[in-house]
Amino acid sequence: MIDLDALSPDRPVLIAGPTASGKSALALRIARAQGGVIVNADAMQVYDGWRVLTARPGPGDEAALPHALYGHMPFEAEYSVGAWLRDLRPWLGGPGRPIIVGGTGLYFRALTEGLAEIPEIAPEVRAEAETRDLDSLLGDLMREDPVLAAKIDKHNLARVRRGWEVLRSTGRPLSDWQAGTAPPDLPLADTHAFVLDADRDWLNARIATRFDAMLAEGALEEARANLARWPQAGGAARAIGAAELIAHLQGRMTLPEAREAAIIATRQFAKRQRTWFRARMGGWTALPIPGDR
């Protein structure tokens, strides 16, 4: 897949790809061969409480090799791209070469292209945004931030909501803030950057197999342990499969129904990831997965 001899052991490595495509295994291979610190770039793996369900590295892997930014956020907390960048920066200048791996494209984009320093969103604005539907939020954006509205994914509620929140909380369009983006912390040219380009049918089959493995490894028990604090869940509530397993534990779904719904949701998420990576990561080295296709 990768000629390790061609990698400079001093240059940071970036590994992006859709869920279940084998990113963590590749990061471990590089770290075992050349050393380095494996740093998380997945927005769900930052939360405690979801080791199995989010496919975080296991305790054995974490003990064998240095890992960072896994499970360091409370279950009840919210977490942003800006917070991730702040948490990442000490590892960029640390003693070990960072191997940054994950499926959150916005993290990699902020790292290699820069991120606008936007003030925190006022709590009352965030609360109001959660009461609004997609069409009404998008309507406001189209009137008041047409630059953003023209390029945003109009089906992505989280992205539309973010644009609306910034507009209401700061009084400035998000597109204005983005125009003043600071220089990147880690320019792409200074890295070895790989994006796993997974075959759709192979990935869909792997997603189903992996979810069954998660169930066998204790994902349902993990959800049961989080059941009491589920109403207070912050960003951790967005872990794919979490809502479905909680619904089963609450008697609203059978386990086969929860399994099927979680697999479908994961496949839909992987499709969005693959589309995003192909559209926005043209400067990265694409690695076909599986390698014989």
Q: What is the three-state SS of the chain?
A: CCCHHHCCCCCCEEEECCCCCCHHHHHHHHHHHHCCEEEECCCCCCECCCCCCCCCCCHHHHHHCCEECCCCECCCCCCCHHHHHHHHHHHHCCCCCEEEEECCHHHHHHHHHCCCCCCCCCHHHHHHHHHCCHHHHHHHHHHHCHHHHHHCCCCCHHHHHHHHHHHHHHCCCHHHHHHCCCCCCCCHHHCEEEEEEECHHHHHHHHHHHHHHHHHHCHHHHHHHHCCCHHHCCHHHHCCCHHHHHHHHCCCCCHHHHHHHHHHHHHHHHHHHHHHHHHHCCCCEEEEECCCC
pLDDT of residue 230: 98
pLDDT > 90: percent of the chain: 84
Q: Is residue 197 over pLDDT 80?
A: yes
pLDDT of residue 32: 95
User: If we measure between CA atoms, which residue out of 200, 205, 212 comes closest to residue 259?
Assistant: 212
CATH number of 1-115+190-293: 3.40.50.300
Q: Is residue 291 over pLDDT 80?
A: no
CATH number of 123-179: 1.10.20.140
Residues 6+ positions from 91 with CB-CB distance below 8 Å: 37, 39, 68, 69, 98
pLDDT in tens, 240-271: 999 999 999 999 999 999 999 999 999 999 99
Q: Is residue 293 over pLDDT 60?
A: no
Q: List strands edge to edge, sheet with 98-102.
A: 67-68, 37-40, 98-102, 13-16, 192-198, 285-289
Mean pLDDT in residue range 8-30: 96
Mean pLDDT in residue range 80-100: 93
How sure is the predictor about 292, in pLDDT bands with cuts at 50, 70 and 90? low
pLDDT in tens, 32-71: 999 999 999 999 999 999 999 999 999 999 999 999 999 9
pLDDT of residue 3: 84
Q: Which two tokens stand for residue 114?
A: 């820069």
How sure is the predictor about 5, in pLDDT bands with cuts at 50, 70 and 90? confident
Q: Is residue 180 over pLDDT 80?
A: no
Q: Where are the domains of the chain?
A: 1-115+190-293, 123-179
pLDDT of residue 119: 78
| Lowest-confidence segment of 18-27, 165-174, 263-272 by average pLDDT | 165-174
In the block, tokens 């496919």 appear at 55
Q: Is residue 15 over pLDDT 90?
A: yes
pLDDT in tens, 100-152: 999 999 999 999 999 877 778 888 998 999 899 999 999 999 999 999 999 88
Say which residue, 59 or 159, is predicted with more confidence.
Answer: 59
Mean pLDDT in residue range 194-215: 97
